[in-house]
C-alpha cells in the first residue's frame, strides 16, 4: 500500500521518495481499470514533473537560507526519475559540508577572503590540492576558527579524503573553509508534504489529459 511521498535523512545526505498515496489513486480507480497503461503513463509524468519542481524550489530555498549560489545547491541535488515499472521517483541531496568557495565568487583581500557575505580572516584563495582553487587557512593562524572549517581533519594526516593538507610539509597544516548544511535537516519532512500536494495537483492534470485523449478517440469510433 502506497504511503505517499516520504524522506530518509542520513549523516551526509537526505533522500525524498516521490510517489502517489493509495487514497489519492482511489479517486482515479475507474480510469486505472479502464486504461491501465494510460494511467501508468500519467503517474510517471506526474512524478517526474514533481521531481523537477521540487529540485528547483529546494535549491532556491536552501540558497536563500544559507546564502549559497543556487547553482551550487543544485549540484548537490540529484534526481532519479521514474524508469520502468516502479512508480517511485527519488531526489537525493548531499548535505555534508560544502566548500565555501562554491557559495559564490571568492575575493582575496589583504585581510583574508570574502565570499557570499562570509569573511574568512587570515585565509587565502589558491590551488593547493587538485585542479580547483579553494579557501584555505593555516591552522596555526591566530584567525583560525574550527567553526568556519567543518569536516576538516586537523592533524598530521594528508590526502584527498579530508579537508586537511600539508603545504610543502606537515610544518604548515592547512584547513579548507566549508559551510555546514546541517540547518537543512529539519526541512525534509516539510518538503515531503509539499511534494505530496504538488504530485496530486500534477497527477490530476495528467490523468485528465489521458482521459481527454481517450474520449476524443472514442468519439471518432
User: Can you list the positions of beta strands (E) in 45-102?
Assistant: 77-80, 89-94, 98-99
Name the DSSP letter for residue 103: S
SS3 11: coil
Q: Which residue has the higher pLDDT, 67 or 23?
A: 67
pTM, two decimals, is 0.81
pLDDT digits 0-9 by tens, 34-89: 788 888 899 999 999 999 999 999 999 999 999 999 999 999 999 999 987 778 99
SS3 6: strand
Give residue 219's pLDDT. Answer: 60
At 131, list the grid cell.
585542479
Domain positions in the chain: 6-96+183-220, 99-179
Residue 205 has pLDDT above 60, yes or no: yes
User: Can you list the positions of beta strands (E) in the chain?
Assistant: 6-9, 13-18, 77-80, 89-94, 98-99, 107-108, 112-115, 118-121, 124-126, 134-138, 164-166, 173-176, 178-179
* Residue bearing cell 486504461: 35
Strands 13-18, 89-94: parallel, antiparallel or unpaired by DSSP? antiparallel
- State the Cα–Cα distance between residues 193 and 4, nearest whole angstrom: 9
pLDDT digits 0-9 by tens, 122-180: 999 999 887 889 999 999 999 999 888 987 655 444 444 444 444 444 446 899 999 99
Nearest to 206 by CA among 72, 41, 76: 41
Amino acid at each position: 500500500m502506497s504511503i505517499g511521498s516520504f524522506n530518509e535523512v542520513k549523516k551526509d545526505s537526505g533522500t525524498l521518495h516521490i510517489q502517489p498515496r493509495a487514497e489519492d489513486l482511489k479517486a482515479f480507480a475507474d480510469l486505472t481499470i479502464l486504461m491501465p497503461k494510460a494511467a501508468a503513463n500519467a503517474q510517471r509524468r506526474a512524478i517526474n514533473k514533481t521531481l523537477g519542481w521540487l529540485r528547483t524550489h529546494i535549491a532556491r530555498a536552501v540558497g536563500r537560507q544559507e546564502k549559497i549560489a543556487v547553482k551550487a545547491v543544485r549540484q548537490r541535488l540529484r534526481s532519479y526519475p521514474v524508469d520502468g515499472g516502479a512508480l517511485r521517483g527519488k531526489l537525493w541531496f548531499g548535505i555534508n559540508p560544502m566548500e565555501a568557495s562554491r557559495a559564490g565568487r571568492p575575493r582575496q583581500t589583504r585581510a583574508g577572503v570574502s565570499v557570499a557575505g562570509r569573511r574568512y580572516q587570515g585565509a587565502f584563495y589558491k590551488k593547493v590540492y587538485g585542479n580547483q582553487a579553494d579557501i584555505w587557512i593555516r591552522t596555526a593562524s591566530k584567525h583560525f576558527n574550527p567553526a568556519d572549517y567543518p569536516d576538516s581533519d586537523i592533524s598530521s594526516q594528508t590526502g584527498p579524503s579530508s579537508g586537511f593538507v600539508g603545504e610543502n610539509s606537515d610544518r604548515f597544516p592547512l584547513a579548507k573553509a566549508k559551510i555546514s548544511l546541517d540547518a537543512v535537516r529539519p526541512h525534509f519532512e516539510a518538503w515531503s508534504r509539499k511534494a505530496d500536494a504538488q504530485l496530486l495537483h500534477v497527477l490530476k492534470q495528467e490523468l485528465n489529459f489521458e482521459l481527454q485523449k481517450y474520449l476524443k478517440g472514442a468519439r471518432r469510433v
